Structure 1
Amino acid sequence: MPDTTITGRTYPPTEPYEVGREKIREFAAVLGAPPGDGSTAPPTFPIVLSLHVMKRVLDDPDLGFDFARAVHRDQRFESVRPVRAGDRLTVTIEIVAAESVDGNDVVTLRGHLREADGGAPVCTTTSTLVARKEETV
């Protein structure tokens, strides 16, 4: 069961991530979208940055979340502006909720993507993950 007392915990911003044209093209290709010139990322590109940080947060022993049993329940994006090649972005992750529902652990994380230089907001990602309860045989 996740430790519900850590709801509200915020992890420090990541080191800046520089968005490259090739990364944008690769992401577009995975989605089956036209690659374009790689100057503007698809709207869901911020998940690339958020997932790296989310994995570290979910591996935090203070949380008590079994990432190996996790499934993705929900994902939302709130964009302030498009992500563009050359952007230098940081991500700060916040634990919005940690609870147990019918024996399953449910954790909701919010990622705040900001410009590394100046801190202007770019996008907020909200992810809900469920670690299924262990089956007894």
Structure 2
Amino acid sequence: MPVAPDLSGRTYPPTAPYAVGREKVREFAAAVGATHPVHHDVDAARAAGYADVVAPPTFAIVVSQRGLDQLLADDTAGIELSRVVHGDQRFTIERPIVAGDELQVAFGVTTVRALGGNAMVSTEAKITDADGTLVATAFSSLVVGGDA
């Protein structure tokens, strides 16, 4: 199935709030080798001026994945997961994510372009806090293989 020609510009409803948990931050920090005490120790984070432990910057992928899940579940998009390769990932961080945040994602497809017999699908996930303030933006590119 080819990628839908009208996919570029498509947006999805905001995701349900994601409650950032202290243990999730610690687990993610351990997984990516972030050893700074602010990622693991509440007292160290508070001494540095934060309300709780601070997530490493790439923790934004955990939240932005909820938006990508909407795209992958969209039967009209023409994206079959078995034909997808992750091409690129970037983040713009407005402020650190900390345990206790409640974050939502507004997700959309920014461009779709032909790449040989494949398609390059670029997306943007705007992550906001409970006040609606932008916390981070995740940019992704997926290479979707053409028919075999």
**Fold shared, TM-score > 0.5 on shorter chain:** yes
Report Cα offsets for 1:68-112 as digits up to 9, x if no partner: 121111001001101011001000101111233101122111000
In 2, Cα distance between equivalents of 1:60 and 1:100: 20
2: CA distance, partners of 1:133 / 1:72? 15
Q: Which runs of 5+ in 1 are unaligned?
A: none
| Runs (4+) off by over 6 Å | none
Question: What is the correspondence of 1:9-24 to structure 2 with a 5 Å cutoff?
Answer: 9-24=10-25
8 Å Cα contact 1:21/1:37 also seen in 2: no
What letter is aligned with 1:22?
E
| 1:9-50 CA-partner distances (Å, limit 9, x unpaired) | 111111111101100011111112215226100000010011
* Count of aligned positions: 134
SS in 2 for 1:133: coil
Q: 2:111 aligns to what SS in structure 1? A: strand
Which is higher, the Rg of structure 1 or of structure 2? 2
> How high is the TM-score relative to the length of structure 1?
0.90
Tell me, yes or no, if structure 1 residue 119 matches structure 2 residue 132. Answer: yes
Q: Percent identity?
A: 43
Q: How does 1:31-110 map to 2 (within 5 A)?
A: 31-34=32-35, 35-37=39-41, 39-110=53-124
How well do the aligned residues superpose, as a CA RMSD in angstroms?
1.5
Q: Which moved more, 1:30-39 or 1:96-105?
A: 30-39
TM-score by length of 2: 0.84
